[in-house]
Amino acid sequence: MSAARYAVFGQPIAHSQSPRIHAAFGEAEGIAVDYRAIEATPAAFAAALEAFAADGGVGANVTLPHKEAAFALCATRTSRAQRAGAVNTLLRKGQAWHGDNTDGAGLVRDLTARHGLDLRGRRVLLLGAGGAARGVAPALLDAGILELVVANRTPERADALVDAMGEPGRALSAYWDALREQGDFELIINATAAGRGDGAGFSLPLSLVNSLTTAVDLNYGEAAIPFLAWARAAACRNSFDGLGMLVEQAAESFQQWHGVRPRTDDVYAALRARDALLVTAD
């Protein structure tokens, strides 16, 4: 029988810091960890996941573009995964997968514990309505924000996410092309791939920003550069990438798999020191 294995699935996946993070967690906690990155196309994801399980895979993280597909492949799910309609953490139970979503918990912990933000009473603009956005939306509402406005270039996707939240009047959708009509926000979160790798940059109305605005990209590394450049040009008070969220959601996954929640500050600091360009949640 193969040794217990763990992995992160995505496309692309070569950039992923998850193997390094889980190796560091394991070393700090004295736990041997076999964790690797597996690239799979959307069409091949289900088969790749089953092959992984057959080869001793007992736990996995899931990143773009597979989070909603992973949700559909789970036999059981946590309440937060059910509410999000997306899964980023898998645990093998018997012959089936159990799904959770640790993205939202990771983002809220990063923003509040690491960066000292008080999310209560804030108006929040969430850009995007895919798996990453679905993962963080419920946790933001639970953290006490005043209002969540979701904007997506395909309006129907934003409407579906808002409907899934079940909080009419507090979770709202907006047309991307009419964002300048939405007023300003204390928190703007990019959960899209807009501007990634196309050289086109990232553009939003400056009217979205006020003197307290924090801008957060759920991407990290080069993928976060366009949005963070816009945030600096717009004079946002703070701007962060998704590396901290990545580390915190990984710690949540690690705890589910190994029974202990690792400390995260040293791992986060080491990743920052290793590469100053690390600036999305896996």
Task: Please list the active-site residues.
Answer: 67
Q: Is 203 annotated as ligand-binding?
A: no
Three-class secondary structure assignment of 81-147: HHHHCCCCEEEEECCEEEEECCHHHHHHHHHHHHCCCCCCCCEEEEECCCHHHHHHHHHHHHCCCCE
Q: Is 131 annotated as ligand-binding?
A: yes
Q: Is 196 annotated as ligand-binding?
A: no
Q: Is 127 annotated as ligand-binding?
A: no
Ordered strands of the 96-100 beta sheet: 35-39, 5-10, 57-62, 89-93, 96-100, 76-77
Specify whether the CB–CB gap between 140 and 167 falls below 8 A. no
User: Backbone phi, then psi, for 99, in 5-degree steps?
Assistant: -115, 145
Q: Is 272 annotated as ligand-binding?
A: no
Q: Is 82 annotated as ligand-binding?
A: no
Place of tokens 């798999």: 257
Strands 238-240 and 209-217: what pairing?
Answer: parallel
Q: Is 201 annotated as ligand-binding?
A: no
Q: Is 63 annotated as ligand-binding?
A: yes
> Cβ-count burial of 143 within 10 angstroms (0-12 exposed, 13-18 middle, 19+ buried)?
buried
Q: Is 17 annotated as ligand-binding?
A: yes
Q: Is 157 annotated as ligand-binding?
A: yes
User: Backbone phi, then psi, for 36, in 5-degree steps?
Assistant: -135, 170
Q: Is 155 annotated as ligand-binding?
A: yes
Torsion angle (degrees, nearest 10) of CA 15, 17, 23, 25: -170
Q: Is 132 annotated as ligand-binding?
A: yes
Binding residues for NADP(+) are 128-132, 152-157, 218, 242
Binding residues are 16-18, 63, 88, 103, 128-132, 152-157, 218, 220, 242, 249
Binding residues for shikimate are 16-18, 63, 88, 103, 220, 249
